[in-house]
Amino acid sequence: MKTNSFAKKYIGDRAFYKRLLAVAVPIMVQSGITNFVSLLDNIMVGRIGTEQMSGVAIVNQLIFVFYLCCFGGFAGAGIFTAQYYGAKDNEGVRHTFRYKLWMGFVLTLAALGIFLFFGKNLISLYLQGRDDGGDPAAALAFGGSYLNIMLVSLPAFALVQIYANTLRECGETVVPMRAGICAVVVNLVFNYLLIYGKFGFPEMGVKGAAIATVLSRFVELTVVAGWTHRHKEKCPYIKGIYRTLRVPLTLVKKYFVTGSPLLVNEALWSAGMAMLVQCYSVRGLNVVAAQNISNTVCNVFNVVFFAMGDAIAIIIGQHLGAREYGKAKDETRKIIAFSIFVATLVGIAIASTSHLFPMIYNTTDEAKKIAAQFLIAQAIFTPQIALLHTSYFTLRSGGKTVITFLFDSVFMWVVSVPVAFILSRFTDLYVIWIYVALQMADWIKCVIGVTLVKKGVWMNNIVSD
Cα three-residue angle 145-357-387, rounded to 5 degrees: 95
What is the pLDDT, as a whole number, of residue 152? 95
Average pLDDT over residues 245-251: 86
Range from 56-65, 159-168, 259-268, 287-296 carrying the lowest mean pLDDT: 259-268
Of 203, 208, 242, 210, the closest CA to residue 63 belongs to 210
In a domain, 259, yes or no: yes
What is the pLDDT, as a whole number, of residue 201? 92
Of 231, 110, 210, 113, the closest CA to residue 163 belongs to 231
In a domain, 461, yes or no: no
List, for residues 325-379, the tens digit of each pLDDT value. 777 788 888 888 888 998 999 999 999 999 888 888 878 888 899 999 999 999 9
DSSP assignment of 63-125: HHHHHHHHHHHHHHHHHHHHHHHHTT-HHHHHHHHHHHHHHHHHHHHHHHHHHHHHHHHHHHT
pLDDT at 465 over 60: no
Provide the domain count of the chain: 1
Percent of the chain with pLDDT over 90: 31
- Mean pLDDT of all residues in the chain? 85
DSSP state of 464: -
In a domain, 49, yes or no: yes
DSSP state of 463: S
The answer to whether the beta carbons of residues 401 and 247 sit under 8 Å apart is no
Average pLDDT over residues 181-199: 90
What is the pLDDT, as a whole number, of residue 403? 79
How far apart, in whole angstroms, are the C-alpha atoms of residue 148 and residue 64? 15
First to last CA, the chain: 44
What is the pLDDT, as a whole number, of residue 110? 95
DSSP state of 127: S
What's the pTM?
Answer: 0.74
When pLDDT is cut at 50, 70 and 90, the band that residue 393 belongs to is confident
pLDDT at 1 over 60: no
Average pLDDT over residues 245-250: 86
In a domain, 3, yes or no: no
Percent of the chain with pLDDT over 70: 94
What is the pLDDT, as a whole number, of residue 362? 79
List, for residues 123-133, the tens digit of each pLDDT value. 988 887 666 55
How far apart, in whole angstroms, are the C-alpha atoms of residue 390 and residue 342? 12
Residue 200 gets the label, from left (phi > 0), alpha (psi -120 to 50) or beta, of left
When pLDDT is cut at 50, 70 and 90, the band that residue 395 belongs to is confident
What is the pLDDT, as a whole number, of residue 133? 56
Query: Residue 49, CB half-sphere, CA atoms under 13 Å: how many?
Result: 13
In a domain, 78, yes or no: yes
How far apart, in whole angstroms, are the C-alpha atoms of residue 463 and residue 8? 31
What is the pLDDT, as a whole number, of residue 211? 94
List, for residues 44-77, the tens digit of each pLDDT value. 887 787 788 888 888 888 888 898 888 888 887 8
| Cα distances (angstroms) measured from residue 291 to each of 19, 78, 96, 189, 251 | 36, 32, 37, 26, 42
Contacts 24+ apart (CB under 8 A), 423-430: 423/279, 424/279, 424/280, 424/282, 424/283, 425/279, 425/282
When pLDDT is cut at 50, 70 and 90, the band that residue 36 belongs to is confident
In a domain, 121, yes or no: yes
Instruction: Identify the domain containing residue 261 by its residue range.
Output: 8-455
The answer to whether the beta carbons of residues 404 and 396 sit under 8 Å apart is yes
In a domain, 71, yes or no: yes
What is the pLDDT, as a whole number, of residue 225? 94
In a domain, 2, yes or no: no
